Structure 1
Amino acid sequence: MHTSNVVAWNAMISGHAKRGHHKEAIEFFLEMRKCGIKSSRSTLVSVLSAIAGLAALDYGLLVHGEAIKQGLDSSIYVGSSLISMYGKYKMLDAAKQVFDVMSEKNMVTWNAMLGVYAQNGYSSHVMELFLDMTRRTIEPDEFTFTSILSSCACFESLEIGRQVHLVVIKRSFANNLFVSNALVDMYAKAGALKEARKQFERMKTRDNISWNAIIVGYVQEEEEIDAFKLFNRMRLHGTVPNEVALASILSACGNVKLLEAGLQFHCLAVKLGLETNLFVGSSLIDMYSKCWSIEDA
């Protein structure tokens, strides 16, 4: 592309990155550098999102160097993008270093760092960072609570999760769909099904994630009858099951050796075009094996 207009280059890089054409976005960035065109904040944010979606750490280090060279590494949005990128590569120390050197931080920055810790299973770091936020009187948002609750989704952190739930109620996020889903998921994964169900029933709006969280929770705790009832209720409410719900309910069929029900759910998987999905396919094989129907498996 023969133009010195950085806006035009940014449009090409951003457009490819948003469409998932990560390689092409990176190639445009490299071509832009060859042409001697100086990157802007928008350039770096877009190309970093492409790098995070592709196994291309070398390019990430190159872009980080470019950001430092231009004094943009402490920019809120460039810095947040660098944090997220390093998090994708599980380079938590590098992500924290970027976070620490940033002179200004907003909710995007704090949530990026919280997300990195949560996605990599560092629940204690999530809580430390959250406490640091509260000491600085920074108001959490829905993404903050979603990250914190996802890190509490294990039995050891259940009590912390309950405390966070109280903060959610106090900050008036109890009716937020994303936060409500995270609460159901947290309680369900911790095996606290009564609390998960109570939160689920309180929800005014539900989506696939809501139904998946509660159904998976019951199947994991071997409460198959309740899982079947919830699955049927989900369909009556007009929610189309996705691969997570189908894989879970097929596992429930295998656990209690209900071959007839499993056959019906297999037909539903075919109808929805999910039979060849990796998760559904694995659950079908497992279900037929447990039901001693090896030929079907």
Structure 2
Amino acid sequence: MHVQDRHGRPVMSLRLSITGRCNVNCIYCHKDGMTSSRGELSAADIEKLCRVASDLGVGKIRLSGGEPLIRDDIVEIVERINNIGFRDISITTNGTLLEGYSTALSEAGLDRVNVSFDTLNPETYRFITRKDYLERVKSGISSAVDVGLDPVKINMVILRGVNHHEVWDMFEFCREKGAVLQIIELLKTESCHDDAVERYHCDITPIEAELAERADQIRTRKFMQDRKKYYIDGGEIEVVRPMDNTRFCANCTRLRVTPDGKLKPCLLRNDNLVDTRDALRENDTDLLRELFFEAIRRRSPYYTP
């Protein structure tokens, strides 16, 4: 049984940003909706939060950052979470370190991985990330597929004038690799400023219209912000439209955690956080449960449905 917020939305997943550190510097990064935070939770504290979440009916855990694979204890973190018994554990990564971790993460209990990868063009990749890791990321994707992480999803943020014309090239790459392409509308948050959104935001409506025209089948993911999945010639493309406010917010089933241990009820807000650090320090499970309920009580669609 899932706990519901005041708007009738079940809390089904917990997304933990386990570090604010990253080894790339993408031009559009919204830092998972986080403002700067001091410190990182230990693996033991992450486990404590996940155990409480499990007791409240949460079935899915996602680890993100920053870049979560930067943490030396990332395999231990996955092992600890896996021992709790969640039905789904996943990571969002930029893929630069994935090749070296795929086997260990799979053996530790990781189910699947999302790789942020916006282009197959080396010059465009350098422009977006300010790094030269493109081939390393491609190898990481292959490694994740080979060890059986399933699905491997490629997160492609669509940027006007940068990569908006590369969707079908990326789709072919994903289909050949056995990965799922996820195209994502650029999102404005406190960490992704107005100038970046104004410069690069792309209306993906025409892209989605073309997907609908070419699709063999279309499905809607009710408990994932009403996202559409398009099945085309044996491949899959999922569309994430966070600026479609009513659908995205009204169908949100996720609670978040900042790197320094604050429960975050909403991706787009940082004014209603619930601090768990004292409870973690005192190892007070009852208080942690109360804090989770408080964070769930504070959940509200950012835009009025």
- The TM-score range, normalised by the shorter chain, is 0.3 to 0.5
Which has the larger share of strand?
Answer: 2
Which has the larger share of helix?
Answer: 1
User: Using CA pairs below 8 Å that are at least 6 residues apart, which structure has the higher relative contact order?
Assistant: 2
- Whichever of the two has the greater Rg, that structure is 1
TM-score, with structure 2 as normaliser: 0.32
